[in-house]
């Protein structure tokens, strides 16, 4: 029997059910008879408004004529339930300049309205979150965009966000700069607004003429070998030490360290598999011989032994260690080691990259090891053969050989 795939998508900011199938005249006749069914020229499939009634009509129309694949639609509806169950935080009090955006009919808000989000803008916020989830954006990106839009909608008061023009948004961002917001915050808010206006509302090139502030070039903060030795020796807990070793040994982000599963450690090929890291990219990195010995020793002593993740929390078996806990481990080690630099867990990644660069490793390899999209100091989109990456030694091995680190 023929298969018809039902999938969710947005059309003019409204949720729809896409009806996708291989070209077939008999199925074309069936779908044309479904009430409210329309053809999408850009997507090349039929669609109806997303509702229970629409779904029932689809099931009735294709009954006995085709099998319905609702896997993607079901996943989306389950995600949507979670979004709808999430309460939007109460807006924070803030002073709003009524001239932030000059509108033909007056100012965008009154001081008395500055503490609320209008129902229309609240709906826009929920719609944007749903859209992000449908596009499978990461939880971190969704949180960031949601937070930036929450502030934006607060500041608009009762004025509908969808009625603003490019010039209005320009003036708003200019006011943000005048109020002292950092370049990074402006970039983050611009990204969120760009997504809302161009992706959710479908206004193509809405931000084409809106410039972005130049980012401050911030050099990475790095620890030297002696500082790293003190840092590692300041921690006696085997799990905590293994977490720090792994981050430095392979140049991993904190989220990547806590997301490593037991199955991701390949001792035969001496590789670590990093799954769905930043940008949803998979990659392989070197598994240092020293790190492998450390991990084996840690697992042997760990009670209870990890079941799924390499580093698991104290809750239910199989739950991963939290990134926040790993960051606290680093800060505790930094304080105990007497390191006064203002550095975070991420400096282990910076230190790894800097140290292997100093040892002569080609920057093109470093780009792929770290999983970067690009490195400004080398050619853009430069790729290297993946199999060469596993032969690059870890800087942890060099420090270990000097015999200064305790285990």
Catalytic residues: 253, 278, 346, 349, 372, 381
Count other Cβ atoms within 10 Å, centred on residue 328.
Answer: 13
Phi, psi angles (nearest 5°) of residue 46: -85, 160
Q: Are 15 and 7 in contact (CB under 8 A)?
A: no
In sequence order, which residues have a C-beta less than 8 Å from that of residue 243 and are 6 or more positions away? 257, 258, 311, 321, 326, 329
CB 16 within 8 A of CB 47: yes
Measured CA to CA, the distance from residue 152 to residue 193 in angstroms comes to: 9
Q: Is the peptide bond before 304 cis (omega within 30 degrees of 0)?
A: yes
* Burial of residue 191, with CB atoms counted within 10 A of its CB: 0-12 exposed, 13-18 middle, 19 or more buried: middle
The answer to whether 388 and 286 are in contact (CB under 8 A) is no
**Which two structure tokens, joined as six digits, stand for 218?**
């911030």
Return the H-helix or E-strand segment holding 27: helix 25-32
Going across the sheet that includes 14-20, the strands are 38-40, 45-49, 14-20, 3-11, 67-69
């Amino acid at each position: 029997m023929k298969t018809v795939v039902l999938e969710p998508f947005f059309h003019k900011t409204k949720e729809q059910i896409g009806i996708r199938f291989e070209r077939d005249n008999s199925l074309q006749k069936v779908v044309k008879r479904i009430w409210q069914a329309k053809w999408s020229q850009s997507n090349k499939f039929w669609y109806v408004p997303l509702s229970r009634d629409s779904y029932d009509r689809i099931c009735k129309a294709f009954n006995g004529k085709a099998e319905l694949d609702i896997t993607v639609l079901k996943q989306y509806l389950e995600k949507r339930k979670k979004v709808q169950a999430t309460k939007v935080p109460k807006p924070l009090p803030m002073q709003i300049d009524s001239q932030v955006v000059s509108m033909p009919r007056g100012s965008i808000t009154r001081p008395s309205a500055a503490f609320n989000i209008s129902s229309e803008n609240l709906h826009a916020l929920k719609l944007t979150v749903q859209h992000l989830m449908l596009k499978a954006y990461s939880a971190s990106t969704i949180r960031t965009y949601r937070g930036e839009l929450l502030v934006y909608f607060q500041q608009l008061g009762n004025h509908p966000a969808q009625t603003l023009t490019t010039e209005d948004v320009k003036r708003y961002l200019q006011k943000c700069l005048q109020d002292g917001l950092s370049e990074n915050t402006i970039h983050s808010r611009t990204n969120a607004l760009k997504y809302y206006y161009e992706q959710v509302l479908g206004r193509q090139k809405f931000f084409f003429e809106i410039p972005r502030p130049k980012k401050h070039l911030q050099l990475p903060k790095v620890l030297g070998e002696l500082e790293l030795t003190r840092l590692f020796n300041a921690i006696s807990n085997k799990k905590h030490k293994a977490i720090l070793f792994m981050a430095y040994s392979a140049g991993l982000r904190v989220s990547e360290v806590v997301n490593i599963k037991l199955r991701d450690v390949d001792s035969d090929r001496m590789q670590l598999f990093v799954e769905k890291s930043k940008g949803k990219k998979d990659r392989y990195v070197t598994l240092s011989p020293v790190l492998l010995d450390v991990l084996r020793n840690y697992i042997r002593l760990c009670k209870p032994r990890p079941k799924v993740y390499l580093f698991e929390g104290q809750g239910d078996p199989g739950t991963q260690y939290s990134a926040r806990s790993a960051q606290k481990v680093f800060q505790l080690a930094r304080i105990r080691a007497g390191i006064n630099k203002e550095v975070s867990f991420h400096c282990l990644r910076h230190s790894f990259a800097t140290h292997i660069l100093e040892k002569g490793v080609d920057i093109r390899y470093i780009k792929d090891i770290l999983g970067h999209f690009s490195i400004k100091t080398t050619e853009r989109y430069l790729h290297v053969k993946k199999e060469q990456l596993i032969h690059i030694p870890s800087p942890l091995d060099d420090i270990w050989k000097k015999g200064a680190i305790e285990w």
